[in-house]
A and B are shown apart, each in its own frame.
Chain A
């Protein structure tokens, strides 16, 4: 769906926003792009959507070279901090942008009413967007991005300003879209949201992708068991486990068979086991680990 290789963007020869970004988004998956402020996420999204010209880019988008305008007919896009014309109603917004995407009038009428209803904007379709709340504008933005029945949906901070109920609805919608075989490219700061919905993620730091893969594979190395004891950890433990503290033993493995002999031995030594926990990093831990070594946020000057 998206194959990017070695994307570079230098702004006016001063700010190196992207430094050789390569990533791949496959059919029928939700792909999350995350990174700290100024990492270059929005720049990358804008390059995909031809809003920004890359200094260097190779790769394909829907099997056509990046920059091909024709393929934009099959891509839905919701930019961050989007502004719809204040003088249009919700329905007019959908019709206007869909007409620019070459959607026939018949399809516009059908889809507009379907998406307005699906995104909980019933009763607001004939009201000027100037009277919409932030969350409603986000919902309308997503509806706008869906109007051309896209194969690929690119959403930049789609849940920004949306309440928890709305977020859940959007998550469900994205899952439905994935099940229909569409790819969704998400750019968001909300790690918990991404974790719940993304099949794969990429973490960008200072214009480079530092990690990329399924959350499962990226957190593989962090899987461990933690055994908490009431008494002090016995001295033999230091030789059989990876890490020990006063009342805690850490075994770096996700295989439960490995911890069974250790539990047996603890019981033999009549040490009270308070808890045995399988532990795995969440996306936030992963993100923090990825950006931890960076000194300052922002792009490379």
Chain B
């Protein structure tokens, strides 16, 4: 009964806020825009057929059409609209919930009721996530209907965006709650949460960039060693036939260059590791909001291999369909392709426990501090 009372109160509080309805309105607009894109036998139709683009690959029934349509949702709408714009609006709307809750004159009325402070705190926290849950649920329902009507796929996995975005938002909201309870100021809570979010983004971007460089150096060293092995093998074969072969100095030079490159890569790797290792530890204990949102991409990935997100980030393997045969595996292009592949494998092999589990541990610690303060506080 008490949880239900808090839930109803949270809904009334949200529905009384204009921003809630503004966000719902924008969400509906985004869904309508999304739904205005469709496929026919000739190609793509935009704005409910106002504009038509002919395409051999993208037409009704083609796997690429499905990949593009779902990909727009998981790679753009979720990552840009839900994970950024709607989250900012949600933070603005909810940042004052806890400061108002603990405001003098208000909190006395609630904590003098027969409900434990810990239960009250966590109930209030959970019902405060209602804003995001409702917003994303409305959004996903619209997307679900659009995907069903446009590409004929009634994909229930679209609704996994609800827990994913709510979990992602909860990492930030936990910080907002802690600051809100400590300072009793919604604006301060919002600003500090914003700073925290930017810090997380910086950590994740730094780790991602450094990881790319580190992986690149590992690939380079491996490929150069492989190049040396091949060159030595070729050299041995040539030398066996004739010690005066004109290609011998060329191979020797090649081996020498590989050795120099390996030395350079190892030196660079050492320097990069100095930064990458501590940052990856910091990331390990931080909430992984980008990776949490990225889970949706993983779960909605196209079985036919079309991945618009990967394409946009330069990974063309889904279009190329099969591994590109490498004539020379030591070239920059070959190494970059291998680096991208390994990074994608590494990212996709990160377990749910690593992505969500460690983030939730961080959230639990923050909420533990906030709830301890709330339970001990004299109001």
- Could you list which residues of chain A lie within 8 angstroms of chain B, going by C-beta atoms? 11, 46, 49-53, 69-73, 75, 77, 79-88, 92, 95-97, 99-102, 144
Contacts and interface: CB of A to CB of B under 8 A. Distances in A.
Given A53-B376, A99-B1, A99-B5, A81 B105 contact: yes
A49 B112 contact: yes
Nearest to B106: A83
Contacts of B109: 77, 79, 82-84, 97, 144
Nearest to B115: A100
Contacts of A86: 16
Interface stretch (B6-14, B231-239, B334-342): B6-14
Interface of A is mostly: loop
B105 A82 contact: yes
Interface of B: 1-2, 4-6, 8-9, 12-13, 16, 100, 103-116, 376, 378-379
Contact of B9 (A72, A85, A101): A85
A100 B108 contact: no
A99 B378 CA distance: 24
B16 A51 contact: no
Contacts of B1: 99, 102
A50 B4 CA distance: 23
A100 B115 CA distance: 7
Contact of A100 (B2, B104, B105, B378): B2
A100 B119 CA distance: 12
Given A51-B112, A100-B5, A82 B106 contact: yes
A80 B9 CA distance: 22
A292 to B, nearest CB: 31
A51 B106 CA distance: 11
B114 A97 contact: no
Nearest to A54: B378
Contacts of B378: 11, 46, 51-53
Contact of A72 (B16, B103, B114): B114
B12 A72 contact: no
B12 A83 contact: no
Given A99-B4, A100-B5, A102-B1, A49 B114 contact: no
Nearest to B5: A99
27 contacts: A11-B378, A46-B108, A49-B108, A49-B112, A50-B111, A51-B107, A51-B112, A51-B379, A69-B115, A72-B113, A72-B114, A79-B105, A82-B109, A83-B103, A83-B109, A85-B12, A85-B100, A86-B16, A87-B13, A87-B16, A88-B9, A96-B5, A97-B110, A100-B5, A100-B115, A102-B114, A144-B109
Given A52-B379, A85-B13, A79 B4 contact: no
B378 to A, nearest CB: 4
A111 B152 CA distance: 54
A75 B109 CA distance: 12
Contact of B12 (A69, A77, A92, A99): A92
Contacts of A71: 114
Given A85-B106, A87-B13, A99-B1, 7 more contacts: A52-B378, A70-B114, A83-B104, A83-B109, A85-B12, A87-B12, A101-B113
A101 B13 CA distance: 20
Contacts of B8: 96
Contact of B110 (A52, A80, A81, A100): A100
Given A53-B376, A97-B109, A100-B110, A81 B5 contact: no
Contacts of B112: 49-51, 72, 75, 77, 79
Contacts of B114: 69-73, 100-102
Contacts of B6: 100
